[in-house]
Amino acid sequence: MNTGSNRTEGLSGEAAVASDETRTDGAQGEHGLGSKAPAFIKRRRALHLSWQVGVFVVGLAVVGAGIVMLPLPGPGWVVIFGGMAIWATEFVWAQLVLRWTKRKVTEAAQRALDPKVRRRNITLTAIGLVIVGVLVGIYLWKFGVVMPWKIKDQ
């Protein structure tokens, strides 16, 4: 229990609070892992278990909707990560997956800002557009512009 005193107390109390705080190198410890359920729910085992089941079901529904949106129109990946965020309010494994994903996305964004990588991406995009333009030109030269429907018949 944090009583405001500066003395350390074995393995509990101040030591537990200190392990959750940010270290001097700026890295976070295991701060924030675990259930975010209100305290009155955590105190009762049956209520906490039913809370976890409810969070899992709601997260599963959101992730399922995101998976359905992948081939269909809609923000599939955003919805999937939203479902993972719902799960992360209760389950440590989902919190760790979200941390790993955030770290990988941040690393990819930093790599994308590298001038050499940007030049390579722009070059590859330009080459791809030229290839697509040539293929469309060949198609139009060979077959012309033919609409799949007949406007004259209507």
pLDDT tens readout for residues 55-111: 899 999 999 999 999 888 888 888 998 998 888 888 888 889 889 988 998 988 888
Write down the residue that tokens 């278990």 correspond to: 49
CA dist., res. 6 & res. 23, Å (int): 17
| Residue 153 DSSP one-character state | T
CA dist., res. 73 & res. 35, Å (int): 34
pTM for the model: 0.50
